[in-house]
Amino acid sequence: MKKFCIFGNPVMHSKSPQMQNAGFRHLNIDANYEKFLLEDGQKIKEEFIKNGFSGANITVPHKEFAYKMADEVIGIAKKIEAANTYILENGRVLAYNTDAPGFLKSIEEFKDVKKVLLLGAGGTSKAISLALQDKNYDVTVLNRSANKLDFFKNNSIKAYSFDDFKIEKFDLVVNSTSAGLKDDLLPASKEILEDVLKSSSYAVDCIYGKETPFLNLAKSLENVIKDGEDMLLFQGVLAFELFTKTKANESLVEAMRKGLKGL
């Protein structure tokens, strides 16, 4: 039996195992996918190899460590400098990023989106910002502090800290931070968020399975809201294709969606 996992901290909330295992069952693949609580991100490659995993997903806060520790980085993960998928191939650890295409797929239903405000500056934000930029969206990143903004500025993406941000009109506001995952926090001050969300049309939170305080506030200001379930599904399907070297069809995607929902 092949072994797969998701590395994260926290990781108990993750629904990736039920989604990926549903995919394995659907294709009758002898494999198991589990949760792995990893506290020290610098040990990710070591733990991956030591535990005999054939592949893994990586969630917060280890995506940048996964990128740095890999033997080879492939595709858009190079530009993002963050990886959410590991594959073991010929004894080497290969790193990919499926967050970027997964996010784009998840917002296809939103029409007339040109300007996007992205909250946070971690690995997920890097993936989303570059994916949006690549599709000619006008992207602005807003983060609590300025010390994580160089990556975005170096990639010609507008980036501000709370101190120097000036309110303007955005079509879509995205929370890529962990605010609201285990607490009742907002990803920015209520004053900033209210000013922005009053004039936006859509709000997406990368956190899934709950209506976060951010989404709750956005809904109260008449935004169409969406959690991170579709992003999780589509990035998971892309990772599954890498794990199994298969191309997902509609029936597999539906099986994985049902697994994600616990059906």
Q: Which residues are catalytic?
A: 63
Q: Which stretches of 54-186 are DSSP H helices?
A: 63-69, 77-80, 99-106, 123-134, 150-154
Pull the structure tokens for residue 208.
């899934």
C-alpha pair distances (Å), 55 with each of 58, 239, 253: 10, 9, 19
Q: What is the DSSP string of 217-232?
A: HHHHTT-EEE-SHHHH
> Which among 245, 238, 236, 242 has a CA at the least distance from the CA of 22?
236
> Which among 127, 7, 9 has a CA at the least distance from the CA of 55?
7
- 10 Å Cβ neighbour count for 31? 18
